[in-house]
Amino acid sequence: MTPLPPAPVPTAVRARVRGRRRPALVPTAVRGRPRGPRALRAATAAVLALLGALLLGAVLPVGTASASRLDVQARPASVLARAACTTTAVEVVPTTATAATAVRLDGLGVADESACAGAAVTVTLLGGTDVLGTAGGTFAGADQTYPLGAPVAPADVTRVRVVVDGFVVPATWRAPGPPPDSCRVVEADGTPVATPCTVVGVRALSWWGEPGPGYGQVTANFSAPGIAPTQHVEFTFTVPAAHTPAWWSWPGVGITGANNTAAITSRCADLPTVTGMVGANLGPTPEVYLMFAQQPSTSLCQP
């Protein structure tokens, strides 16, 4: 009998019988990815290094760069500190009692003049929250005046702001006392003339003693351009309260000395307001120096 041929065996069975397995097909995109913890850490480190280089280039100024050169320049920061040339409290005083066209700063002393020479000065006059006027200039002395951009009524001013050399200085507004600080040019017989006159400063020089036998010295400066040698300056001014020490009081005070042949026409009871006239032939910038005493034996002011 002829034997029958063996039955065909399926391909998958034949491969399993022979102990061979075909490897699974892996897509190309999957095969290209790094696999394992070590490869992941290497990739992460590369990304972080790139980000660090980009951040460094954004923060530091970089000079001219080429393929073979990268110049990194870091400049240290510098700080400039300045101090105020003065912290002295001042009084802002208009030069006229009605429509003021200029103001002056009372209260500055010799030390302030030296420390603030050449400093920029700005004065702002306010009425409530409204700016009524501004004045400014370069500091040249304690007696100088600063012109306003437009006339301002002193009665409308409620507060002031003073800036010297970029620093705010403590300041208050002082409307002219009764009568107002003023001066005028007159003939020898008292007849007024058209020559202009301005009170440019009232300054206390010194105070000494103690309550009772105390003494003080004050100067007032005037500007009268065009005054003739035979003409005089009549004046009225008030000694600023900020210029007197805490122990000083005016009742009973007399004027015991005056320079430039000044004649005092006001009463002693009117102090600290003084009215008088200086002698002739003093030029366009006359002054008057007064000495005060709390217990005078004699006085130049009227009883």
- Tell me the average pLDDT across 272-292: 95
pLDDT in tens, 66-121: 444 555 565 666 666 778 999 888 889 887 766 788 898 887 877 888 899 999 99
Distances (CA, A) of 85 to 22, 106, 203: 94, 16, 19
pLDDT of residue 110: 78
Rounded mean pLDDT of the chain? 80
- Tell me the average pLDDT across 249-257: 94
Q: Where are the domains of the chain?
A: 86-175, 177-303
- Tell me the average pLDDT across 154-160: 90
pLDDT in tens, 196-237: 999 988 988 899 987 778 999 999 999 999 999 999 999 999
Q: What pTM was computed for the model?
A: 0.47
pLDDT of residue 145: 85
- Tell me the average pLDDT across 242-267: 92
pLDDT in tens, 41-68: 666 666 566 666 555 554 444 444 444 4
Question: Of 280, 282, 228, 274, which Cα lies nearest the Cα of 250?
Answer: 274
Which residues lie below 8 Å from residue 38, measured CB to CB, with a gap of 6+?
none
The domain 177-303 is placed in CATH, from the list 1.10.10, 3.10.450, 2.60.40, 3.90.920, at: 2.60.40
Q: How confident is the model at residue 15 (pLDDT cuts 50, 70, 90)?
A: very low
Q: Give the tokens for residue 43.
A: 């990739």
Q: How confident is the model at residue 168 (pLDDT cuts 50, 70, 90)?
A: very high
pLDDT of residue 66: 45
